[in-house]
Amino acid sequence: MYIVVTGAAGFIGANLVKALNVRGETRIIAVDHLAYADKFKNLIDCDIADYFDRDEFLDRLEQGDFDDDIRAVLHQGACSDTMETDGCYMMRNNYRYSMMLLEHCQNNDVPLIYASSASVYGAGKKFVEDRAHEAPLNVYGYSKFLFDQSVRRVLPEQTAPIVGLRYFNVYGPREQHKGRMASVAWHFFNQYKQNGKIKLFEGSDGYAAGEQQRDFVSVEDVVKVNLHFLDHPQYSGIFNLGSGRAESFNTVAVATLNALAAHDGKEGRSLKEWVTEGVIEYVPFPSQLVSKYQSYTQADLKKLRAAGYEEKMFDVATGVARYVEALASVG
């Protein structure tokens, strides 16, 4: 039987495919949309059984071509551009496609593990998997929220496991194709390599310059949690997936710079020192992000821990250092 990974050539999807390979899994159906062709590079070192465009796969699924031949679906495919303004495209790609997969999986007793998003919480300050705390700020967040709501209605009468994972700010290898939607760690690394400086936003929403805080989570941890639920089909529900820590953009910048310094055999510096030397600069907060920006996120992990996941998550200092060293090592 096959494991299906949608969004397989993307950031998290490709990391999942690689992790499955490490386990000895090669009967993997990779599903994606290669309008941006360079994403294929994420799969060069991976072994898969077959590849399908997202629309072809759905057609084949509806025709019954994979009946009784799918072990699980790891659904990572989505438009993740939070600045996308085409709501019709967003809802068709993120919501309706997911609904069709959910229906198939329930009708055929196939476990579904899918990517939700912390964007469903909007500007809230409490990040608990509960309807009372959900108010997305953009159509991307709404598309994820609406599917989560549909899953909640199915869960009481589910015929197969369903797990939604609300990713917070994920960073790590294989995200180079994401452009402006790549992690801040990726952007900071490339800014420094190109210009010798890192730029952060000035103060906003009551936060000092660079002190807006997010829950930054390593893709290594994201993959481990996905595989935990693949291995433990007794659990279903919607779960936060972050580090459980709110850390500032300044902290990410310092971790990036100090990792680069360590790679070059040099001593790290404090935030104040990097700012004084002009390596960290602050730029005006973009007007287009006003009222659409999460200045603070921190995953409540109680529900995830109750589902048996006990491994410690990387903090920024450790996880970003590992990532930057990997980036620096390949030039």
Active site residues: 140, 178
Token output for 32: 């994606």
- From 245, 136, 178, 238, select the one nearest 12 (Cα to Cα): 178
- From 267, 272, 231, 238, select the one nearest 253 (Cα to Cα): 272
- From 195, 196, 194, 198, select the one nearest 185 (Cα to Cα): 198
Exposed e or buried b per residue across 256-291, where buried means at least 16 C-beta atoms within 10 angstroms of its C-beta: bbbbbeeeeeeeebeeeebbeeebbbeeebeeeeee
- CB under 8 Å to 310, separation ≥6 — which residues? none
d(CA 324, CA 20): 24
114 touches 172 (CB < 8 A):
no
